């Protein structure tokens, strides 16, 4: 997957500066682009695309991704990715190109099978849909979910979010009489947390805790891990988390059969490592070194973009907690001081 679109780049806190792009990944997730916007009087509710066109978009994305991955050339799939996936993918490719300019020596082609498409019926632009397929990589039996989006009929479909879930974790979606999926509004008050607020709520939870999110790998366990590594002999770590909510980073969701929603949203975080006097920052990996600006003396600030996928229950259901099913994050920059 590929490139960082500078026009859609996440905002960076002034206190931490503008950082270069890099790459790493964590677990699993997916997402898409924005909500219902009426453009040029287009108020008719129609499917975002046909199933045949959705299948073609998945094939074209896969072909472009494989070319980029084989060559570490961001231009090969630059027009097939956007939003958080473009940041994560582009950083990975940039790091690979700098450390292995001859191409990816471990490349093996990604292939998808058994693809299903959840296509919302909605008015106006942007439009988006979710592809759900098995792949020849990752854990056996897992499902890869990709959100594809475009802002008008002249644009190519671009993948904005990626998630990998166990087959049993993919919920049943609500559909209308035509079999089309039902999108949820960004400000849907019938959900435990409105999709528009999920990024901010997640950032707040990671900092302060609380009961908005159910316990799990990407919530309580991650907070415990951060606390464990916040202060170690000779090294301190600070964390800043921010929501990403505009353009192709906007949260999107599909109504589930139980009245809740599967929602994809993005966040942006910084992790600053500071060495005590007389000690040094641990040596970064080659990929991090290749993407680091400045000299690493007493501190190293790492920048990440992350996309999460959650089950957002209806108001009043059970404990009303949001469950984070997966998270994919990529290192997109580093700065030494």
Q: Per-residue pLDDT tens for 268-280?
A: 999 999 999 989 9
Model confidence at 35, in pLDDT bands (50, 70, 90)? very low
DSSP conformation class of 173? B
Distance CA(170)–CA(298), nearest Å, equals: 44
Query: 303 forms bridges with which residues in the sheet?
Result: 270, 333
Q: pTM for this structure?
A: 0.86
Are 182 and 254 within 8 A, CB to CB? Answer: yes
Distance CA(111)–CA(103), nearest Å, equals: 20
Could you report the per-residue pLDDT of 102-146, keeping only the tens digit for each? 999 999 999 999 999 999 999 999 999 999 999 999 999 899 999
Distance CA(158)–CA(92), nearest Å, equals: 18
Model confidence at 8, in pLDDT bands (50, 70, 90)? very low
Average pLDDT of the chain to the nearest whole number: 89
Q: Does the N-terminal peptide bond of residue 276 adopt cis geometry, omega within 30 degrees of 0?
A: no
Distance CA(298)–CA(132), nearest Å, equals: 45
Nearest to 195 by CA among 267, 126, 261: 261
Distance CA(164)–CA(27), nearest Å, equals: 8
Are 248 and 167 within 8 A, CB to CB? Answer: no
């Amino acid at each position: 997957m590929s490139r960082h679109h500078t026009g859609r780049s996440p905002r960076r806190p002034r206190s931490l500066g503008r950082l270069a792009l890099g790459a790493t990944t964590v677990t699993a997730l997916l997402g898409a682009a924005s909500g219902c916007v009426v453009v040029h009087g287009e108020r008719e509710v129609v499917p975002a695309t046909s199933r045949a066109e959705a299948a073609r978009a998945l094939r074209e994305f896969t072909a472009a991704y494989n070319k980029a991955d084989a060559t570490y050339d961001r231009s090969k799939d630059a027009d097939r990715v956007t939003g958080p996936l473009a940041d994560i993918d582009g950083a990975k490719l940039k790091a690979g190109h700098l450390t292995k300019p001859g191409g990816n020596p471990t490349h093996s082609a990604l292939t998808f099978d058994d693809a299903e498409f959840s296509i919302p019926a909605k008015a106006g632009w942007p439009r988006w849909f979710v592809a759900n397929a098995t792949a020849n990589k990752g854990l056996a039996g897992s499902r890869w979910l990709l959100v594809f989006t475009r802002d008008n009929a002249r644009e190519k479909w671009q993948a904005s979010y990626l998630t990998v879930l166990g087959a049993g974790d993919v919920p049943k979606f609500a559909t209308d009489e035509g079999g089309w999926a039902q999108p949820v509004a960004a400000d849907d008050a019938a959900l435990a947390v409105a999709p528009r607020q999920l990024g901010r709520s997640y950032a707040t939870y990671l900092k302060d805790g609380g009961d908005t999110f159910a316990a799990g790998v990407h919530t309580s366990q991650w907070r415990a891990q951060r606390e464990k590594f916040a202060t170690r002999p000779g090294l301190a770590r600070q964390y800043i988390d921010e929501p990403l909510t505009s353009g192709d980073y906007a949260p999107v969701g599909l109504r589930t059969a139980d009245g809740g929603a599967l929602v994809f949203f993005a966040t942006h975080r910084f992790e600053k490592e500071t060495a005590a006097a007389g000690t040094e920052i641990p040596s970064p990996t080659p990929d991090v070194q290749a993407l680091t600006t400045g000299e690493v003396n007493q501190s190293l600030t790492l920048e990440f973009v992350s996309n999460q996928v959650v089950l957002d229950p209806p108001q009043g259901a059970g404990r009303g907690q949001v469950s984070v099913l997966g998270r994919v994050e990529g290192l997109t920059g580093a700065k030494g001081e």
